Chain A
Amino acid sequence: MAFVVQRPKLNLAEKLYLPAVLGGLLLTIRHFFKGAAGRNVTMQYPEVKWDDHLPEWYRGAPTLVADEWGRERCVSCQLCEFICPPRAITITPEEIPNSDPWAKVEKRPKEFEIDMIRCIYCGLCEEVCPEQAIYLRKDYSITGYTRAEMKHDKAKLYELGGVKAGVVNKWNEKK
């Protein structure tokens, strides 16, 4: 169905454009002086940071966490590797040796690699994790000089993740 746009009827002043242009110029010059006087809202990163105001659910770099007893929560189920849309995660699983105090968990990652060049911070890995082992923490400034540097290995991921207390500890109970 055709739809006819009704053009507004303009009077002479409006047709001339000039009053409107002058009005616009006045508006912008007001902003100019406001800006020149330094009254703008820009935050001067990196001198000023918003870190303290980041919400609890902020999605920064994905990290691995340990529990209060220092056990790595990840059991290498590879669900995050599966769900990861840009395929940034690579996990190499291994069996926990019998000598380990947490041998009953049986499985852990031998290597856990997140390619931060690929990562899109979507948080699906955190959402899918059945062990609550992967969390998106508040580190957002992930930089490096080489591609290798941008691959977070297991050690780096635990360093960033630290300890996450207060989540379900299904392996610690009577089992």
Chain B
Amino acid sequence: MTTTATPAQPKTEVPLLNVQVDGEWRQFPKGTRLIEACIKSGQYVPHYCYHPKLSSPGNCRMCLVQLGMPKLGADRKPELGEDGRPILNWSPRPAISCATEISEGMGVRTSGPLVEECRNGVMEFLLINHPLDCPICDQAGECRLQEFSVEYGKGESRFLEEKVKKPKRVDIGERIVLDDERCIMCSRCIRFMQEVAHDDVLGFVNRGSHTTLTVYPGKRLDNNYSLNTVDICPVGALTSKDFRFRMRVWFLKETKSIDVNCGTGSNILISSREGIVHRITPRENDFVNSCWMPDSHRLNFHYLHDEDRLKTPLVKSAPATWTDAISTAAAQLKSHEPARIAMIASARMTNEELFLARRLATALGIEQFDVLPRPQEGDGFLISNDGNPNTTGAKLLGLHCGGRLSAIAAGVASGAIRGLLVLGEDATQCGIAEGDLANLETLVVVDILPNKTTPHATVLLPASGFAEKRGSMINLAGRIQRLNRAISAPGLARDDWEILRDLIVAVGGPNGVYSIEEVFRAMAAETPALTGLSMAGIGDLGVELALDGAPRRAEI
């Protein structure tokens, strides 16, 4: 772990330095890299090798700027001009802004003849050996080389010699394909593997034009964070096998959401087109996951498009309309005494769904309810020890976490429990035998995929996957974050919260929620930790909750 994953800089006494960026004097904390000062001043400096979360080797030379240092008088003090600012001596030689730290009185020009000329030259060098692969390259459309060659490139090649041939389609890892011809030797991937993933497997061999990125002999890029190298690769050298040749990026609609594979709640971008999710990439959130996420989590979305997805409400395995299915489920649940029904919810549900599940339990008088805990071994970085993404939320909303499962299982086995309501879980994993499920009089299941429980369901209600719904979850650190809808649910499947709302109404409970915002409002009104929050108020980066008091929001 590096400093990158820690939340905002602690507000200690870092001295502020005066820097002139394109003629304007500004103040930045000591230790800021010059390129960051430029970017913060609104002056974009093109770059390849620089990455805010990685060290600066300064090997792409794209971020060249013109530097000016204060003119020193005879007393070794800066001479001040009419405006009271130091007079700058402009260097005739450009400097790379990524590996230069700011100093007091420094001046920088991010444009001008010298800088333009340097960028054009660097661009031409970078393109000398670059193949004309754009039509087949997956990076096309989000390729820095393409973007900067539009701005600084020549549009034609002056290079008459033969291009250097390098290995293409190199299988360097389980999930990664390397195209060395496209590599511009920025070394971001190498530094990521060294500094963030701590799995030093990548390196350069050979010299000059023949420099080649490769894995060390006998090693492979199989780290569970390897796909982050694909994200940070500014060109199409590293491509994801999962996403390779699937869809051009310019078709993709990007939806901000969060990862639901563990309690970390990494921020993600869901890229989808016409109802199909094509890839998931991490979204920067320095409070949670910095810029990274594990491969195992980002690739775990294909089940959304599983052929077996539940698409139609089933009553005793026969397709039914939603109206019939809901009323049948409600009638079946109400036919038992409250003491003979149990509910198993899931900590994979959103807060809103859990809140409505709790309401449903109250409406039915159910007292035996629980969620299934999923302890697992984390990796100490972005995979937490909890496989449930919303354990905190489940606890906050008053659902027990595992304490009552054995009692429920025993009740089902003994016949004391005749009705079971299962929300998004496989009851067989909760200690209930499959045979016992078959003996239940009522088994209402809300889920998205068939499992061992669904065949026995008396009423089966198809719900939405994580990319198909909106809602909020609270990660293990107590940060409430939003899920957003990227695609619509398949077939007749509906939003979970709507299903629960309709069930509550059908069993005679209260209504009054018509949108997810209203569910959140109702939930916030009843939950002290959420007081004052709203769906919109959560924002893209989430809000850290003080789980015993009011939300702490000043940090944003």
A contacts B directly in the complex (CB < 8 Å)? yes
Q: Which residues of A contact B (CB under 8 A)?
A: 75-79, 81-82, 93-95, 104-107, 130-131, 170, 174-175
Among B131, B140, B168, B246, point to the contact of A77 (Cβ < 8 A): B140
Among A82, A95, A130, point to the contact of B135 (Cβ < 8 A): A130
Can you list 9 contacts pairing A with B, beta carbon distance less than 8 Å? A75-B135, A77-B140, A78-B247, A78-B248, A82-B250, A82-B251, A107-B135, A170-B132, A175-B165
- Asked if A77 meets B135 with Cβ closer than 8 Å, knowing A82-B251, A106-B169, the reply is yes
Q: Give, as a whole number of angstroms, the nearest-CB distance from A167 to chain B.
A: 14
Residues of A close to B251: CB separation below 8 A = 78, 81-82
Determine the residue in chain B with the shortest Cβ distance to A82: B250
Q: Answer whether residue B136 sits at the interface, using C-beta atoms and an 8 A cutoff.
A: yes
Residues of A close to B83: CB separation below 8 A = none
- Asked if A104 meets B168 with Cβ closer than 8 Å, knowing A77-B248, A93-B245, A174-B162, the reply is yes
Cross-chain contact A75 with B136 (CB below 8 angstroms):
yes
Cross-chain contact B248 with A105 (CB below 8 angstroms):
no
Residues of B close to A77: CB separation below 8 A = 134-136, 140, 248
Determine the residue in chain B with the shortest Cβ distance to A130: B135
Cross-chain contact B132 with A107 (CB below 8 angstroms):
no
Q: In whole angstroms, how far apart are the Cα atoms of A165 and B139 in the complex? A: 30
Determine the residue in chain A with the shortest Cβ distance to B136: A107
Determine the residue in chain B with the shortest Cβ distance to A105: B136
Residues of B close to A107: CB separation below 8 A = 135-136, 245
Q: Give, as a whole number of angstroms, the nearest-CB distance from B166 to chain A.
A: 11
Q: Given contacts A78-B248, A175-B165, list 14 more A-B pairs with CB under 8 A.
A: A75-B135, A75-B136, A76-B245, A77-B134, A77-B140, A78-B251, A79-B248, A82-B248, A82-B250, A93-B247, A106-B169, A106-B245, A107-B136, A107-B245
Q: In whole angstroms, how far apart are the Cα atoms of A79 and B137 in the complex? A: 12
Residues of A close to B30: CB separation below 8 A = none
The 8 closest A-B pairs by CB, nearest first: A77-B135, A107-B136, A78-B248, A130-B135, A93-B245, A75-B136, A75-B135, A95-B245
Residues of A close to B244: CB separation below 8 A = 95
Residues of A close to B136: CB separation below 8 A = 75-77, 105-107
By CB atoms of chain A within 10 A, which of B135, B168, B244 has the most?
B135
Cross-chain contact B246 with A93 (CB below 8 angstroms):
yes
- Asked if A79 meets B245 with Cβ closer than 8 Å, knowing A106-B169, A174-B162, the reply is no
Q: Give, as a whole number of angstroms, the nearest-CB distance from A159 to chain B.
A: 23
Among B131, B132, B245, point to the contact of A94 (Cβ < 8 A): B245
Q: In whole angstroms, how far apart are the Cα atoms of A139 and B251 in the complex? A: 30
Residues of B close to A131: CB separation below 8 A = 135
Residues of B close to A81: CB separation below 8 A = 251
Determine the residue in chain A with the shortest Cβ distance to B244: A95
Q: Give, as a whole number of angstroms, the nearest-CB distance from B521 to chain A.
A: 40
Q: Give, as a whole number of angstroms, the nearest-CB distance from B359 to chain A.
A: 44
Q: Give, as a whole number of angstroms, the nearest-CB distance from A174 to chain B.
A: 7
Residues of A close to B250: CB separation below 8 A = 82
Cross-chain contact B131 with A175 (CB below 8 angstroms):
yes
Q: In whole angstroms, how far apart are the Cα atoms of A77 and B247 in the complex? A: 9
Residues of A close to B168: CB separation below 8 A = 104, 106
Determine the residue in chain B with the shortest Cβ distance to A133: B135
Q: In whole angstroms, how far apart are the Cα atoms of A106 and B170 in the complex? A: 12
Q: In whole angstroms, how far apart are the Cα atoms of A79 and B244 in the complex? A: 17
Q: Give, as a whole number of angstroms, the nearest-CB distance from A138 to chain B.
A: 26
Determine the residue in chain A with the shortest Cβ distance to B138: A107
Q: Give, as a whole number of angstroms, the nearest-CB distance from B156 to chain A.
A: 14
Q: In whole angstroms, how far apart are the Cα atoms of A174 and B162 in the complex? A: 9
Q: In whole angstroms, how far apart are the Cα atoms of A76 and B248 in the complex? A: 10
Q: Give, as a whole number of angstroms, the nearest-CB distance from A161 to chain B.
A: 18
Residues of B close to A76: CB separation below 8 A = 136, 245
Q: In whole angstroms, how far apart are the Cα atoms of A101 and B248 in the complex? A: 25
Q: Give, as a whole number of angstroms, the nearest-CB distance from B114 to chain A.
A: 34
Cross-chain contact A79 with B135 (CB below 8 angstroms):
yes
Q: In whole angstroms, how far apart are the Cα atoms of A174 and B246 in the complex? A: 28
Q: Give, as a whole number of angstroms, the nearest-CB distance from B138 to chain A.
A: 9
Q: In whole angstroms, how far apart are the Cα atoms of A77 and B249 in the complex? A: 11
Q: In whole angstroms, how far apart are the Cα atoms of A170 and B134 in the complex? A: 12
